[in-house]
């Protein structure tokens, strides 16, 4: 069965551009210009994945409202924010209310397609047993590369797809410095340095919620980041 993706975006040219690309990748695509029309359709049948802008016509935070509504209906529906708003407040807000990823509109269409495919792979992998070959264990850290999940001290770390790939890129080569360009390549994102810094801050914060002494992601000033294998 073809996966059905819904795009909720109030700019017609952008909306149709995304839709055309996704259709060429074999997806069925529904498009909506505002929250009201999307809610009416979703109340009848949920898609397999939703791509949301934050500002929708006259609603400055309409996408946030729609995301909360969708998350109340389904805890597993993949939701991606795709927006021009790239500040930390909006990013944290979007992830906190239940989005699986938060991307800015400067992401290339091939990388957007790769991120969507990764979310679908994670959904399918969660239904399957994990082979030993997919597990990376490093002290209290366990990474399931197939399911794209991370556990620290036997507690699940709630990471987005982008954050998962960044942690995986660092942890699979402990002690090796990854510069920002390498992290972007491994995570299938192309953003400025400040956005990478913001991602790292959020990742650290999520680990610190589990372990206040977590300090494995080290900043190597002027170079990048590394997973410090000598730390706990």
Tokens coding 6:
């819904």
**Phi, psi at 101, each rounded to 5°:** -155, 160
Residue 54: its H or E element: none
Per-residue confidence band for 23, with pLDDT thresholds at 50, 70 and 90: very high
Quickly state the pLDDT bin for 143 (edges 50, 70, 90).
Answer: very high
Residue 191 pLDDT exceeds 60: no
Residues near 71 by Cβ (< 8 Å), separated by ≥ 6?
77, 79, 97, 98
Between 117 and 133, residue with greater pLDDT:
117
Which DSSP category does 130 fall into? P
Q: Is the pLDDT of residue 53 over 80?
A: yes
Residue 61: phi, psi to the nearest 5? Answer: -120, 30
Q: What percent of the chain has pLDDT over 70?
A: 91
For the chain, where are the alpha helices, taking DSSP H only? 12-24, 35-44, 62-73, 88-96, 109-125, 161-171, 180-187, 193-210
**Percent of the chain, pLDDT > 90?**
51
Mean pLDDT, residues 90-101 taken together: 80
The sheet with strand 149-152 has its strands ordered as 135-138, 141-144, 149-152, 155-157
- DSSP for 214-230 reads ---EEEETTTEEEE-TT
Candidates 182, 152, 177, 153; CA nearest to 165 is 182
Could you report the per-residue pLDDT of 168-177, keeping only the tens digit for each?
989 988 999 9
Mean pLDDT taken over the chain = 87
* Paired tokens of 133: 């070959």
Q: What is the pLDDT of residue 128?
A: 67
Rg (CA), the chain: 18
pLDDT at position 2 is: 87
pTM: 0.68
How high is the pLDDT of residue 198? 79
Flag the least confident range among 90-99, 100-109, 138-147, 164-173.
90-99
Instruction: State the DSSP string of 1-49.
Output: ---EEEEE-S-HHHHHHHHHHHHHTT-EEEEESSHHHHHHHHHH---SE
């Amino acid at each position: 069965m073809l996966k059905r993706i819904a795009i909720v975006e109030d700019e017609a040219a952008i909306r149709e551009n995304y839709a055309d690309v996704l259709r060429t990748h074999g997806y069925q695509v529904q498009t909506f210009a505002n929250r009201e029309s999307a809610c009416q359709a979703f109340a009848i049948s949920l898609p397999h994945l939703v791509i949301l802008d934050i500002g929708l016509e006259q609603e400055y935070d309409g996408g946030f409202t729609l995301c909360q509504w969708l998350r109340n209906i389904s805890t597993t529906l993949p939701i991606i924010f795709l927006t021009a708003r790239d500040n930390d407040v909006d990013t944290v807000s979007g992830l906190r209310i239940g989005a699986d990823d938060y991307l800015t509109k400067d992401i290339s269409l091939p990388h957007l397609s790769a991120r969507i495919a990764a979310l679908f792979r994670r959904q399918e992998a969660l239904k399957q047993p994990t082979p030993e070959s997919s597990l990376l264990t490093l002290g209290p850290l366990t990474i399931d590369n197939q399911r794209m999940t991370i556990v620290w001290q036997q507690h699940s770390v709630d990471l987005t797809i982008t954050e998962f790939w960044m942690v995986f890129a660092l942890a699979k080569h402990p002690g090796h410095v990854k510069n920002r360009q390498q992290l972007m390549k491994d995570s299938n994102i192309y953003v400025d340095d400040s956005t990478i810094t913001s991602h790292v801050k959020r990742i650290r914060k999520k680990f610190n919620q589990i372990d206040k002494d977590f300090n494995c992601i080290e900043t190597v000033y002027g170079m990048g980041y590394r997973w410090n294998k000598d730390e706990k």
